[in-house]
Structure 1
Amino acid sequence: MITATGLELRAGSRILLNGATVRIQPGDRIGLVGRNGAGKTTSLKVLAGEGEPHAGDVRRSGELGYLPQDPREGDLSVTAKDRVLSARGLDTLLRDMEKAQTAMSELVDERQRDKAINRYSRLEERFASLGGYAAESEAARICSNLGLADRVLAQTLSTLSGGQRRRVELARILFAAAEAGAGGKSETILLLDEPTNHLDADSITWLRGFLKQHDGGLVVISHDVELLGDVVNKVWFLDATRGELDLYNMSWQRYLDARATDEKRRRRERANAEKKASALQQQAAKLGAKATKAVAAKNMARRAEQMLSALDETRHADKVARIKFPEPAPCGRTPLMAEGLSKSYGSLEIFTGVDLAVDRGSKVVVLGLNGAGKTTLLRLLGGMETPDTGSLVPGHGMRLGYYAQEHETLDHEASVWENIRHLAPDTGAQELRNLLGSFLFTGEQLDQPAGTLSGGEKTRLALAGLVSSAANVLLLDEPTNNLDPASRAQVLDALRSFAGAVVLVTHDPGAVEALEPERVILLPDGTEDHWSPDYLELVQLA
Structure 2
Amino acid sequence: MLVVRDLEVRVGARLLLSEVSFHIAAGDKIGLVGRNGAGKTTLTKILAGEGAAASGSVSPGGQVGYLPQDPRTGDLDVIARDRILSARGLDGALRRMRDAEERMGSADPDEAEQAMTRYTRAENELQAGGGYAAEAEAARIASNLGLPDRVLDQPLRTLSGGQRRRIELARILFSGSETLLLDEPTNHLDADSIVWLRSFLQGYPGGLIVISHDTGLLASTVNKVFHLDANRSAIDVYAMDWKRYLTQRETDEKRRKRERQNAEKKADQLFSQAAKMGAKATKAVAAQNMAKRANRLLAGLEGERVQDKVAKIRFPEPAPCGKTPLMANDLSKTYGSTEIFTSVDLAIDRGSQVVVLGLNGAGKTTLLRILAGLEASDTGRILPGHGLRIGYYAQEHETLDTSRSVLDNMVSASPDLNDTEVRKVLGSFLFTGDDVDKPAGVLSGGEKTRLSLAMLVVSAANVLLLDEPTNNLDPASRAEVLEAIRTYAGAVVLVTHDEGAVQALDPDRVLVLPEGTEDLWSPEYADLISLA
TM class, shorter-length: over 0.9
Q: Which residue of structure 1 aligns with residue 103 of structure 2?
A: 103
Deviation, structure 1 residue 30: 0.4
Deviation, structure 1 residue 295: 2.8
Deviations 1:273-298 (A, max 9, x none): 11011111111222222333333223
Q: Counterparts of 2:321 and 2:341 in 1: how far apart (Å)?
A: 29
Query: Is this contact kept in 1: 2:73–2:164, CA < 8 A?
Result: no
Gaps of 5+ in 1: 178-186
Deviations 1:246-272 (A, max 9, x none): 000000001011101000000000000
Which 4+ runs in 1 deviate beyond 3 A? Answer: none
- Correspondence 1:174-253 to 2 at 5 A: 174-177=173-176, 188-253=178-243
Query: Is this contact kept in 2: 1:71–1:162, CA < 8 A?
Result: no
Matched, 1:410 2:400: yes
Q: Which residue of structure 2 aligns with residue 184 of structure 1?
A: none
For 1:470, give the aligned amino acid: A
Q: Counterparts of 2:409 and 2:115 in 1: how far apart (Å)?
A: 57
- Correspondence 1:348-387 to 2 at 5 A: 348-387=338-377
Q: Which residue of structure 1 aligns with residue 274 of structure 2?
A: 284
Q: Which residue of structure 2 aligns with residue 173 of structure 1?
A: 172
Q: Which residue of structure 1 aligns with residue 76 of structure 2?
A: 76
Query: Is this contact kept in 1: 2:31–2:209, CA < 8 A?
Result: yes
Question: Structure 2 residue aligned with 1:470, among 451, 455, 460?
Answer: 460
Q: Which residue of structure 2 aligns with residue 120 of structure 1?
A: 119
Query: Is this contact kept in 2: 1:202–1:541, CA < 8 A?
Result: no
Q: SS where residue 324 of structure 1 aligns?
A: coil
Q: Which residue of structure 2 aligns with residue 431 of structure 1?
A: 421
For 1:82, give the aligned amino acid: D
Q: Counterparts of 1:199 and 1:510 in 2: how far apart (Å)?
A: 16
Deviations 1:334-392 (A, max 9, x none): 11110111111111110011000111111110000000000000110111101111111
Q: Counterparts of 1:116 and 1:404 in 2: how far apart (Å)?
A: 46
Q: SS where residue 35 of structure 1 aligns?
A: coil
Q: Counterparts of 2:112 and 2:458 in 1: how far apart (Å)?
A: 68
Stretch of structure 1 that moved more, 60-69 or 85-94: 85-94
Q: Which residue of structure 2 aligns with residue 146 of structure 1?
A: 145
TM-score, normalising length: structure 2: 0.98
Matched, 1:330 2:320: yes
Q: Counterparts of 1:245 and 1:535 in 2: how far apart (Å)?
A: 44
Q: Counterparts of 2:393 and 2:114 in 1: how far apart (Å)?
A: 56
Matched, 1:452 2:442: yes
Deviations 1:215-245 (A, max 9, x none): 1000000000000000000000001111110
For 2:370, give the aligned amino acid: L
Q: Which residue of structure 2 aligns with residue 422 of structure 1?
A: 412
Q: Which residue of structure 1 aligns with residue 132 of structure 2?
A: 133
Query: Is this contact kept in 2: 1:329–1:397, CA < 8 A?
Result: yes
Deviation, structure 1 residue 317: 1.2
Q: Counterparts of 1:528 and 1:334 in 2: how far apart (Å)?
A: 16
Q: Which residue of structure 1 aligns with residue 431 of structure 2?
A: 441
Query: Is this contact kept in 2: 1:159–1:345, CA < 8 A?
Result: yes
Q: SS where residue 105 of structure 2 aligns?
A: helix
Q: Which residue of structure 2 aligns with residue 488 of structure 1?
A: 478
Q: Counterparts of 1:425 and 1:321 in 2: how far apart (Å)?
A: 22
Stretch of structure 1 that moved more, 315-324 or 280-289: 280-289
Deviation, structure 1 residue 130: 2.7
Gaps of 5+ in 2: none
Q: Which residue of structure 2 aligns with residue 529 of structure 1?
A: 519
Q: Counterparts of 1:235 and 1:508 in 2: how far apart (Å)?
A: 26
Query: Is this contact kept in 1: 2:160–2:360, CA < 8 A?
Result: no
Deviation, structure 1 residue 74: 2.0
Q: Counterparts of 1:81 and 1:119 in 2: how far apart (Å)?
A: 21
Q: SS where residue 51 of structure 1 aligns?
A: coil
Q: Counterparts of 1:35 and 1:82 in 2: how far apart (Å)?
A: 37
* Count of residue correspondences: 532
Stretch of structure 1 that moved more, 120-129 or 11-20: 120-129
Q: Counterparts of 2:302 and 2:175 in 1: how far apart (Å)?
A: 43
For 2:286, give the aligned amino acid: A
For 2:379, give the aligned amino acid: T
Q: Which residue of structure 1 aligns with residue 61 of structure 2?
A: 61
Q: SS where residue 489 of structure 1 aligns?
A: helix
- Please give the root-mean-square deviation of Cα atoms over the aligned residues, in Å: 1.3
Matched, 1:12 2:12: yes
Q: Counterparts of 1:55 and 1:95 in 2: how far apart (Å)?
A: 42
Deviation, structure 1 residue 73: 4.8
Q: Counterparts of 1:293 and 1:202 in 2: how far apart (Å)?
A: 75
